[in-house]
Amino acid sequence: MRLLLGFILVFFIGLCAQAQTVKPIRWTISLSKKEVKQGETIEIIMRAEINSDWYLYSSDFDPNLGPTVTSVAFEKSEGYKPTGALKAIDAKEKYDSLWEGKVRYFTKHAEFRQKIKILKTNPVLKGILMYQVCSDKEGKCIPYEEPIFFDNLKVAVAAVEPEENTTKPTQQNPTSEDRLQDLESQKSKLVQKDKNGNDVAKEQLKEFAQKYGGDQ
């Protein structure tokens, strides 16, 4: 008799333990892209299937109200950086008399998105999704954690554009040929002749010759 009672007790304890381990929610976590460029921003997409008579608290209401809001904590890394807040997609809203305030929540289906900026190649995305599901029918509210892990993201190194050459070309020193052409041009302007073809600007020509004569 005692053996039978012991067997029945163990059986019921096992059933209770199994019931406690069954989650009323199932997550699918994916990336918006599997191949990105270094410096590009992608999204981690978190979708949930919620059992009937259960609901999931959202992330976009006052966390000081009472219920545990959905949140994500990422490990610090040089390979990536979260940008912005966790975004809930189309959550419902109601006034909760128990908490005396408005709460936002999901039933049946839920979706959250978190933006991540990729800083280096071969990043390992690691974090924890924290949330709470409740059932008014069961009279339960249970907190859970869901791991986030991705190490197979392909990252292409961003091409470095060549810098524009803004250096001005250096001015070359004038050659003897350049000086000669300049002398001929100036000479035609300085030398003046009368009707008979005689030079009437000798003094100017002397000054011209002293100024430009010979290579420097």
Nearest to 98 by CA among 143, 66, 135, 140: 66
Residue 157, pLDDT score: 81
**Confidence class for position 98, pLDDT limits 50, 70, 90:** confident
Domain 24-156: CATH superfamily is Thiol:disulfide interchange protein DsbD, N-terminal domain (2.60.40.1250)
**Confidence class for position 28, pLDDT limits 50, 70, 90:** very high
Domain spans of the chain, in order of start: 24-156
More confident residue, 196 or 136: 136
**Confidence class for position 91, pLDDT limits 50, 70, 90:** very high
pLDDT at 164 over 90: no
Structural contact between residues 116 and 125, judged by C-beta atoms closer than 8 angstroms: yes
Q: Where are the beta strands (DSSP E) in 51-139?
A: 55-57, 71-74, 80-88, 92-96, 101-107, 109-118, 125-135
pLDDT at 95 over 60: yes
* pTM for this predicted structure: 0.64
